[in-house]
Amino acid sequence: REVRIAAGASFYAGASGTPVGSGQVYTGDGDVYGSLNVAMNGVIACGPAEALTLERLVFQPGGIFRWVCGADGSHQPVEVGDLILPQGVVVVDVDTPEEKVRPTGVLIRYSGEIVDNGASWNVHGDHPETAVVVDRKRKMIRLTTPTGTLIRLL
C-alpha cells in the first residue's frame, strides 16, 4: 500500500496527523502539510532522486525510514519542519543497488525543532557497521559507514 505524493502535489494531513500504518509506505517528491505519524512497520521512503518535504514527522517505536540510493551513492534527504523521535527503536532500512556502495549521507534535514524521547536506531542492510548520527548542530540525521583500515599499534 504505497502512497506516492508527486512533485508539485500537496497532501494535507488531518488535524491530529495522518497515521502511516503497518505495511503502508509514503514516498514521492511532494509536500505534506500537517503531521505524518509513522507507526510500527509503517514506512517513510526517500530515493536517489526524490524525497518528501514534511511540515512535521513523528516516529513511533518500530517506525521505518527506508533509504534508497543510486548505484553511485546518490540520494535525496527528507526535509522536515519538526521531527519527533520515540522512546524506542526507529528502523533504518538501507537499500543499496550494489554491496560496494557504502551508506553515508543525510537521511533527514529538519528546520524546526527536534524532540528526541530517547530513540535508538536499528540499521538494516548490507553493512553492519553503518550507524545513525543525530547532528543537532547541523539539524540533520545522517548515516555514516566507516571506510578504510584501522591499524592499532600496541
What pLDDT is attached to residue 14?
Answer: 79
Residue-wise pLDDT for 41-68, tens only, equals 999 999 888 999 999 999 999 999 998 8
What pLDDT is attached to residue 138?
Answer: 96
Q: What percent of the chain has pLDDT over 90?
A: 66
Query: Which residues on neighbouring strands pair with residue 68, listed in sequence order?
Result: 95
pLDDT at 149 over 70: no
Q: Which one-letter DSSP state was computed for residue 134? A: E
Beta strands in the chain (DSSP E): 2-5, 10-12, 18-20, 25-28, 31-38, 43-46, 53-59, 64-68, 78-85, 89-95, 105-110, 114-116, 120-124, 131-135, 140-144
Query: Which residues on neighbouring strands pair with residue 11, listed in sequence order?
Result: 32
Beta strands in 23-63 (DSSP E): 25-28, 31-38, 43-46, 53-59
Closest CA to 112 of 136, 138, 81: 81
pLDDT at 31 over 90: yes
What pLDDT is attached to residue 9?
Answer: 96
Residue-wise pLDDT for 124-147, tens only, equals 886 778 889 999 999 999 988 877
- Residue 36 sits at φ, ψ, to 5 deg, of -100, 130
Residue-wise pLDDT for 93-127, tens only, equals 988 776 666 777 899 999 999 999 999 999 988 67
What pLDDT is attached to residue 150?
Answer: 58
What pLDDT is attached to residue 134?
Answer: 95
pTM summary value: 0.89
Q: What is the mean pLDDT of residues 84-93?
A: 95
- Please, how many CA atoms are within 13 Å of residue 128, restricted to the half-sphere of its CB? 0
How far is Cα 91 from Cα 85, in angstroms, rounded to an integer? 12
